[in-house]
Amino acid sequence: MGSLQLKSIRKAFGDHEVLKGIDLEVKDGEFVIFVGPSGCGKSTLLRVIAGLEDASSGSIRIDGQEMATTPPAKRGIAMVFQSYALYPHLTVKDNMALGLKQAGTDKAEIESRVTKASSMLSLDPYLARRPAELSGGQRQRVAIGRAIVREPSLFLFDEPLSNLDAALRVQTRLEIAALHRRLKATMIYVTHDQVEAMTLADKIVVLSAGAIEQVGSPMELYNKPANVFVAGFIGSPQMNFIEAGKLGETGAKTIGIRPEHIALSRESGDWKAKVVHAEHLGADTILYLETEATGLLTVRLFGEHRYAADDIVFATPDRASMHRFDANDRAITSATP
Ligand SMILES: Nc1ncnc2c1ncn2[C@@H]1O[C@H](COP(=O)(O)OP(=O)(O)OP(=O)(O)O)[C@@H](O)[C@H]1O
């Protein structure tokens, strides 16, 4: 079990209100990811759920039980930090077992849980080592193992992969996805990484300045962003925003078009443009264009292309994939599907 309900959670540090009334439902077994710009309150929200910070007001329920006065150790939560927070003088095995020992768990039970977690995370060869003798990825697996042995109803991850290099991030990301499938536990995860958010989450929560902008599955957020903020935040490279008037569009203030929804040709198309810069990434080509009609435009083409700076090209948006936003930056949803 591990459902979570947050109602009107507020948190202020002095007169700085960091969380401005958060309402959120997380179902048992869901993988929920918090994303948002630096300083928007992601870590604070996670810490409030864990009980490491008290909310200024609001209600936190885990499996229906109010947690406001429940200390962190009694919430059935395990938290995995970016910094691993392992004890340097203890072996891997003792680091994993420590929380259970402190809780007075029976020796045989500790042995059995540590053995199970260690085999799940391929840590068996390292059980006698100390953290300093491990790679960053191995240390993070120990931190995850220490969380698993507690058999929590809720796992909280605060940017667990951000200290790892690119290859290890991918590997550990796949391990976390497999772990979620296997444990069927509820996981709440903070990240800056779009790929982590899009690939791991059942549900993404987009936060901005202490408030929720939108909650939805990765594809809902990509295909149907509720407002300009979410449209610009989800997706890389970022969506292009064009003043609707420039395109002769009435009834909208801003038109959004993703870089991957624009076709390019040397011969003809809707908008004549000059290539300002070309990034050849192998699988993709990212082009930055200057157009008279729309101003700066980013285009993402799949595969290799020979476009280069100063080339004259023609860009044509896929009109069916355009997003329309009103004067309040909210998405205009068409009446007809
Ligand atoms: N203990 C504290 N005392 C005062 N202000 C704090 C404290 N902890 C966080 N803040 C402030 O609260 C705001 C939100 O911080 P938080 O760490 O939750 O953001 P975040 O979204 O996790 O950011 P990042 O992505 O940079 O980690 C920031 O403005 C931060 O300075």
Among protein residues, the one with the nearest Cα to ligand 1's atom 27 is 38
Higher pLDDT, 337 or 66: 66
Q: How far is the CA of 243 from the centre of ligand 1 (A)?
A: 34
Instruction: Give me the interface pTM, i.e. the ipTM.
Output: 0.97
pTM metric for this prediction = 0.92
As annotated, the residues of the chain forming the CATH 2.40.50.140 domain(s) are: 240-325
Quote the ligand 1 centre to 230 CA distance (angstroms): 21
Does the structure show a pLDDT above 90 at 16?
A: yes
Q: Cα–Cα distances in Å, from 238 out to 41, 259, 284?
A: 22, 7, 15
pLDDT confidence of 169, banded at 50, 70, 90? confident
Q: Which CATH class is domain 240-325?
A: mainly beta
- Amino acid 50: pLDDT: 93
Least confident of 35-49, 79-93, 226-240, 263-277: 79-93
Q: Among residues 78, 139, 148, which one has the least CA distance to residue 113?
A: 148
CB distance 19 to ligand 1 below 6 Å:
no
Tokens of 211: 């408030």
Overall average pLDDT of the 107-111 stretch = 94
- 126 pLDDT exceeds 60? yes
- Regarding the beta carbon of 40 and ligand 1, being less than 6 Å apart is answered yes
Q: Ligand 1 centre from 188 Cα, in Å?
A: 18
pLDDT score of 336 more than 50: no
Residue 183 confidence (pLDDT) above 90 = no
- Gyration radius of the chain's alpha carbons: 24
pLDDT value of position 337:
44
CB 186 less than 6 A from any atom of ligand 1 = no
Q: Please tell me the distance between residue 324's alpha carbon and the centre of ligand 1 in angstroms.
A: 33
The dihedral through the CA atoms of 191, 192, 193, 199 has a sign that is positive
Spatial separation of the C-alpha atoms in residues 72 and 78, rounded to whole Å? 9
- Residue spans in the chain of domains classed CATH 3.40.50.300: 4-228
Residues forming beta bridges with residue 264, ordered by sequence position: 315
Whole-number pLDDT of residue 164: 79
Asked if residue 335 has pLDDT above 80, the reply is no
Ligand 1 centroid from CA 84, angstroms: 19
CA nearest ligand 1 atom 13, residue:
39
CATH superfamily of 4-228: P-loop containing nucleotide triphosphate hydrolases (3.40.50.300)
Q: What is the pLDDT of residue 137?
A: 85
Cβ neighbors of 97 (< 8 A, separation 6 or more) are 110, 114, 149
Task: Verify whether ligand 1 is closer than 6 Å to residue 47 (CB atom).
Answer: no
C-alpha 206 to ligand 1 mean position (Å): 16
Provide the pLDDT for residue 334.
65
Query: d(Cα 45, Cα 183) in Å, to the nearest integer?
Result: 24
